């Protein structure tokens, strides 16, 4: 369904904001990790491996 843009044909897809999976509701740093939480998932990234990441450019969807 996602590949054919037929979201409205399925009631559970109609208002979904998780297809890309990156609607951040909480973001913080802990023990060298950048931790980003959505309603459904938690992403853990090692800060020392995020060459393009800075505090000014991090995504804050909160």
Segment 3-53, tens digit of pLDDT: 677 767 777 777 776 666 567 888 899 999 989 888 888 989 898 888 877
Rounded-to-integer distance, Cα 7 and Cα 47, Å: 35
pLDDT at 57: 63
Q: CB 36: neighbour CB atoms within 10 A?
A: 21
Phi, psi dihedrals of residue 44, rounded to the nearest 5°: -115, 125
DSSP state letter for 52: T
Q: CB 45: neighbour CB atoms within 10 A?
A: 13
pLDDT at 60 over 60: no
Rounded-to-integer distance, Cα 34 and Cα 46, Å: 6
pLDDT at 1: 55
pLDDT at 28: 92
pLDDT at 23: 77
């Amino acid at each position: 369904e996602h590949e054919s843009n037929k979201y409205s044909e399925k009631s559970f897809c109609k208002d979904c904001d998780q297809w890309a999976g990156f609607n951040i509701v909480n973001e913080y740093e802990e023990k060298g990790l950048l931790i980003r939480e959505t309603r459904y998932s938690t992403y853990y990234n090692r800060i020392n491996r995020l060459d393009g990441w800075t505090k000014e450019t991090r995504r804050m969807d909160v």
